[in-house]
Amino acid sequence: MDDIRLLPATGLEGLIAQLRSRGYRVMGPTLRDDAIVTGEIRSASDLPQGVGDEQDPARYRLRKRDDGAYFGFAAPAQSSKPVFFPAEEVIWRGRRDTAVTPDSAASASTPDNAGNPTTAPASSPHDPGFTVERDQLDAPPIALLGVRSCDLRAVQIHDKVLAGRTYIDAHYVTRREATFVVAVACSDPAATCFCASMGTGPRPAATDPATGEPSYDLLLTEIAPSDPDRHHFVLEIGTEAGRDVAHAIDTAPAEFDDQHEALAVTAHAASQQTRRITAATVRDDLRASAESSRWEDVASRCLSCTNCTLVCPTCFCTTVEDVSDLTGATAERHRVWDSCFSEDFTYIHGGPTRESVKARYRQWITHKLSSWEDQFGMLGCVGCGRCIAWCPAGIDITEEAAALGRMRAGGVLPTGDHVPTGDHVTVTS
Amino acid sequence: MTDHAHHHGPAAQTASGMEQAAAIEPASGLEPAAVPGPALAEAAAPEPAPASAARPKLAVWKFASCDGCQLSLLNCEDELLSIAGAVHIAYFPEATRAVVEGPYDLSLVEGSITTPEDMRRIHEIRAQSGTLVTIGACATAGGIQALRNWADVDEFRSIVYAHPEYLSTLDTSTPIASHVDVDYELRGCPVDKRQLIEVLAAYLNGRKPRIPSYSVCVECKRKGNICVPIANGTPCLGPVTQAGCGALCPTYGRGCYGCFGPQDTTNTASLTTQLVELGMADADIVRVYRTFNAGAPEFEAAGNAVEAGGAR
C-alpha cells in the first residue's frame, strides 16, 4: 500500500520544514484573537494544537481540548479564499505624463499585454497622455496545510469560476499556480457543519469532480490525539509531488487497518452532523420559490451586513474602485470584495435593481443553491456553515432552504416548475 | 421633549443616499485638469503654490461641534502641503487668522445648528459657497448634542449657567441639510482623514468620491478581523453602521459605536434583538443608539422603539 503512509505527530514539523525548503509559503490554520484563521505556518507551533471550537448560529467560541489534536476543530473563521483571491488588490496604476514633446504627444501606442509600462495615446497635442502600470505579482507558490474538504471543494469551485471559463482572472491563476495541497480529513464538525449532506465532506474526494484532477497532494487523517504514544497521522498520497514529499520526511509504511482507522474518523464526523440540505431537491425548491412569503420573513431578520457573503468560501463577487490623488496626476484601480447584500451592488442609473432586502437574500440563496448549478454545473455551497455561525442575526441557510422546501411541498406556493424570470432572480456572473 | 424628526428635511437623508451617487462638481469656471500641484505620493517635495487664481478657494466653517473634524484636516500631515497646493485655503480660523473674502468655491462645514444666529449664518455661507460639503456627525446628523432633542433645554440651561438669560439657543440640534441644500455629506465622529482627502480629490477632479455606504462589517471582513459579537459576545453596532473608519474599534477588539451613522440598509430591529441576546439592558441599548448620531433618523427611531418597550 504505497499510497498510504504513517506520519508521527511529531513529524508535522518535518513536513512544514520540507514544504518551506521547497520554496512554498505554507498557509494553514492558526490562532488569532478569538478564532482560528488561515495564516502563514512557519512551524508546527503555529498550529492551534489542543484547541477546539463551538459553532452555532451567530456564535463562535474557541475551547480548550483535553488532547493534543492539531486539527481538532471545524471550519476556521475564514477559508483559504483570501490566499488566492484577496479582499483588495490593485489592478493597475496610472500616472499622468508630465513632459510634453512633439514625439510623445503624437505617438499612439497600445497597452502592452505583458504588463509593461506603456504610454497611452494622447488625445490632443496639449494632453501629455498617461502611463499605465499593471500590478505585477511576485509571490512564492502556496502550500495549503490542513485545508478541510469543504474549503478544498470551494477552491475547486473557484478554479472553475475564476480560471475555467472564457475570461480568466489572471491574478488568481498566478496565485494558484503550483499550489501544493495538504488536506486534512475533518474529525470534529461543528453544529453548523453540513458538508455530509452536500456531498463535499468530511473526507475530501480524491479528484475534482469537474476536471478529474487530483484534489490534494497529501491527505492527513489525525489518529488518537488523546494518546501521546499513538498520536499520528495517516498520510494518503494523491500525486507524484505528494509522494516525493512523503518519502522525503519521516513516514513509515501503513497497514490495511490504518486506512480503516482513517475512514472511521470521517465516518464518525459525518454521523455527528445535525444540519443538512437536501441537495437532490434544493435546486428545484429554490426555483419554485421566487414568490414565497418566506422572503419577507427572512428579510425581517437579515441585517444586510454582508457577513455571510464575505465568509463564504465560494462567493466571488467584486467591484472595482478607482482612486486618484488630489491633482489627478496619479490614479489606481482597485478590485475589492463586494456583496450582493449591499445596496450599491446592483446600482445602475436610477437606483439599485435589488432595493429590498428580501430581493437580496433571495438572490444570494437562490444563486448559491440553485442557479449556480445552471451557471457552473455544481452547487455553490460546500456546507462549511460559516454563513450560519458568522451571521449576527443567526440566519441559517439550512433552515431557510428547508422552510422553502416545506412550503413548496405543503402547497403554500404554486407547485410545479415555476421558473422565475429575470425580473425575479438575476444570475450573477 | 421635542419630536425633532420634523426638523429633518428629506434632504438630510437624500444627501447621504442620492448625493453620494453623483460626482461632486467643481464650481463653474474651474478647470480641474488645469489645476497644477504635486501628486500625493510626492508630498514630501511639493511644488511651490501656483497662482491662487488657478486654485479653488476653500473655506472651513464651524458650527456647534468639538473641532475634531477640522482637526482631521490638519491631521492630514503628509498630505497637508499637497492640499495647500491644490486649493487656496481662504478661510480656516482653526488653522490661520488670515481671511480671504468670499465667495468660496468649496466650503467644508463642521457642526450642527443649535442657535438662532447659526440658523441665519448657515444661509449666508450657503449663498457664498459654490459647493458645500458637511463634515462629521454633528453637521450630518446633529452630533452628540442632539441628545438635547430628548431633553428639556430650559431646565438644564437654568442649572448649568449662572445667567441663562444671556443665552439664545434652540431646543434642538439639527444637521446642516435640515436648513440648506448640501452637496455632499461626509460621515464620522470624527471624519476619517482618508475619506476627507478622497472627497477633496474627487472635487478637484470632478468625479464621484469613493465613499461606500455599506456596513462596517465589510471593512472588518476585508481586513480579516474576527467578528467581536460572534467570537466573544461583545455588542457591536457594525451591522447597522456605515463603513468609513476602517473598522477601527473592532480591529482592536471593541464593538462598533456607530460613529459613521446608519448604513444604507439599516435593520435596527434585528440588531436590537441580537443586543438583547448578548445581555444588554434596554436602557443600555437606548444609549448605544443615542450617541454621536442620535439624530440620524434610523438610530433615533431605534432608540425610541427600545425606550417604548420594543426590544423584547
pLDDT digits (tens, 9 = 90+) for B92-115: 998 888 899 989 999 999 999 999
Cα separation, A272 vs A270, in Å, equals 5
- B230 and A60 in contact by Cβ < 8 A? yes
User: pLDDT at position A134, please?
Assistant: 84
Q: Residue A180: pLDDT above 80?
A: yes
CA geometry: angle A317, A200, A420, nearest 5 deg: 50
Which residue of chain A is at minimal alpha-carbon distance from B37? A327
User: pLDDT at position A103, please?
Assistant: 47
Q: Residue A398: pLDDT above 90?
A: yes
User: pLDDT at position A165, please?
Assistant: 94
Q: Residue A12: pLDDT above 50?
A: yes
- A34 and B221 in contact by Cβ < 8 A? no
CA quadruple A416, A421, A423, A425: dihedral positive or negative? Answer: positive
User: pLDDT at position A126, please?
Assistant: 64
Instruction: Output the CA torsion A263→A267→A268→A269 (10° steps).
Output: 100
User: pLDDT at position A369, please?
Assistant: 98
Average pLDDT, chain A: 90
Which residue of chain A is at minimal alpha-carbon distance from B222? A87
Q: Which of B82, B218, B225 comes nearest A306 by C-beta?
A: B218
Q: Which of A206-210, B17-21, B186-190 is the least confident region?
A: B17-21
Cα separation, A175 vs A168, in Å, equals 13
Chain A residues with beta carbon closer than 8 angstroms to that of B277: 58
Burial zone of A68 (CB within 10 Å; 0-12 exposed, 13-18 middle, 19+ buried) = middle
All domains of chain B in start order, with CATH? 4-205 (3.40.50.700), 216-307 (no CATH)
Locate the DSSP E strands across chain B: 57-62, 88-91, 104-110, 129-135, 184-186
Q: Which of A63-72, A105-114, A323-332, B283-292 is the least confident region?
A: A105-114
pLDDT digits (tens, 9 = 90+) for A360-373: 999 999 999 999 99
User: pLDDT at position B9, please?
Assistant: 38
How close B10 gets to chain A, by Cα (Å)? Answer: 17
Which residue of chain B is at minimal alpha-carbon distance from A395? B270
- B215 and A303 in contact by Cβ < 8 A? yes
Q: Residue A219: pLDDT above 70?
A: yes
User: pLDDT at position B96, please?
Assistant: 86
* Chain length of chain B: 312
Q: How confident is the model at residue A414 (pLDDT cuts 50, 70, 90)?
A: very low
- A389 and B239 in contact by Cβ < 8 A? no
Q: Residue A120: pLDDT above 90?
A: no
How close B172 gets to chain A, by Cα (Å)? Answer: 30
- A304 and B253 in contact by Cβ < 8 A? no
Q: Which of A38-52, A353-367, B31-45, B215-229 is the least confident region?
A: B31-45
The Cβ of residue B270 has, within 10 Å, a number of other Cβ atoms equal to: 22
User: pLDDT at position A8, please?
Assistant: 97
Q: How confident is the model at residue A99 (pLDDT cuts 50, 70, 90)?
A: low
Cα separation, A283 vs A92, in Å, equals 39
DSSP state of B131: E
Q: Residue A109: pLDDT above 50?
A: no
Q: How confident is the model at residue A107 (pLDDT cuts 50, 70, 90)?
A: very low
Q: Percent of chain B at pLDDT above 70?
A: 83
Q: How confident is the model at residue A122 (pLDDT cuts 50, 70, 90)?
A: low
Q: Which of A354-358, B83-87, B115-119 is the least confident region?
A: B83-87
Q: Which of A304, A321, A323 comes nearest B265 by C-beta?
A: A304
User: pLDDT at position A25, please?
Assistant: 97
Q: Which of A302, A325, A341 comes nearest B39 by C-beta?
A: A325
**Of B219, B221, B263, which Cα lies nearest the Cα of A304?**
B263
Chain A residues with beta carbon closer than 8 angstroms to that of B305: none
Burial zone of B154 (CB within 10 Å; 0-12 exposed, 13-18 middle, 19+ buried) = exposed
Chain B residues with beta carbon closer than 8 angstroms to that of A394: 274
Tell me which residues of chain A, numbers 42 to 101, contact chain B at a CB-CB cutoff of 8 Å: 58-61, 77-78, 82, 87-88
Q: Is the minimum CB–CB distance between A320 and chain B shorter than 8 Å?
A: no
- B230 and A311 in contact by Cβ < 8 A? no
Cα separation, A208 vs A210, in Å, equals 5
Q: How confident is the model at residue B207 (pLDDT cuts 50, 70, 90)?
A: confident
Q: How confident is the model at residue B266 (pLDDT cuts 50, 70, 90)?
A: very high
Q: Which of A34, A58, A342 comes nearest B232 by C-beta?
A: A34
Residues near A234 by beta carbon (within 8 Å), at least 6 away in sequence: A4, A5, A6, A7, A220, A221, A223, A254, A258, A259, A261, A262
Query: B69: part of which helix (H) or strand (E)?
Result: helix B68-74
How close A191 gets to chain B, by Cα (Å)? Answer: 15
Mean pLDDT of B247-265: 97
Distance of CA A240 to the CA centre of its chain: 25
How close A259 gets to chain B, by Cα (Å)? Answer: 36
Q: Residue A173: pLDDT above 70?
A: yes
Chain B residues with beta carbon closer than 8 angstroms to that of A307: 217, 221, 227, 239
**Of A30, A29, A394, A37, which Cα lies nearest the Cα of B220?**
A37
Average pLDDT, chain B: 86
Q: Which of B214, B221, B271 comes nearest A311 by C-beta?
A: B221
Q: How confident is the model at residue A137 (pLDDT cuts 50, 70, 90)?
A: confident
ipTM of the complex: 0.90
User: pLDDT at position B24, please?
Assistant: 60
Q: Percent of chain A at pLDDT above 90?
A: 82
Domain boundaries defined on chain A: 4-85+138-272, 279-319+337-409
